[in-house]
């Protein structure tokens, strides 16, 4: 048996538009119901993954920064160790200490009026040189000079100073500088 079905489609413009709109609505429903949910879920998952990665990178950077801090601390300790070895091996005379003080004063760029050795104290294994220094300069330079001397190291400190204003932005400062080192054999 041979059946032949012939259909002829006669679709007018109105039906074509209606069919097209229906097809678009169907595609949108299928897209938003099945595909869009997966896209939203994947986006949420990727956001969570990015936040985890961001946190991990932050932790790693903090670890690197703390190791960098430790490295700087170690190098600082190594420098102090070398300076201590030099101090152990060498005896400082008043002239040596005076040269160190002159270098620090020149580094600060202040106008030095006088530098005098006040006294030399020896106690047990400790030797302490005391100098009296007089400087006339601007307050900024004086502050810079005091900072340079105080930051020189563990063996130089300023126990006393007197600051007097002379006028025109010039100050007169008289201060004592002590240099201490230990005699270690």
Tell me which of 3.40.190.10, 3.30.70.60, 1.10.8.60, 3.40.50.300 is the CATH number of domain 91-182: 3.30.70.60
pLDDT digits (tens, 9 = 90+) for 129-176: 888 999 998 888 888 888 888 887 767 888 888 888 888 888 888 988
Q: Over 107-162, what HEC string results?
A: HHCCCEEEEEEEEEEEECCEEEEEEEEEEEEEHHHHHHHHHHHHCCCCCEEEEEEE
pLDDT score recorded for residue 126: 79
Domain ranges of the chain: 11-89, 91-182
Tell me what percent of the residues of the chain surpass a pLDDT of 70: 86
Average pLDDT, the chain: 81
Q: What is the pLDDT of residues 22-37, one digit of tens each?
A: 999 998 888 888 878 8
């Amino acid at each position: 048996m041979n059946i032949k079905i012939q259909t002829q489609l006669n679709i007018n413009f109105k039906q074509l538009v209606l069919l097209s709109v229906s097809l678009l609505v169907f595609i949108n429903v299928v897209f938003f119901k099945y595909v869009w949910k997966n896209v939203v879920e994947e986006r949420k998952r990727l956001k969570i993954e990015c936040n985890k990665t961001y946190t991990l990178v932050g932790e790693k950077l903090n670890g690197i920064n703390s190791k960098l801090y430790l490295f700087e601390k170690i190098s600082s300790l190594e420098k102090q160790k070398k300076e201590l070895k030099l101090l152990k091996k060498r005896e400082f005379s008043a002239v040596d200490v005076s040269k160190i003080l002159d270098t620090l004063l020149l580094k600060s760029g202040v106008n030095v009026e006088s530098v005098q050795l006040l006294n030399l104290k020896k106690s047990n294994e400790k030797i302490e040189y005391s100098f009296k220094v007089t400087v006339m300069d601007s307050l900024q330079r004086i502050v810079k000079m005091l900072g340079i001397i105080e930051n020189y190291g563990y063996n130089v400190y300023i126990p006393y100073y007197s600051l007097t204003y002379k006028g025109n932005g010039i100050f007169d400062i008289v201060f004592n500088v002590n240099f201490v080192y230990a005699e270690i054999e």
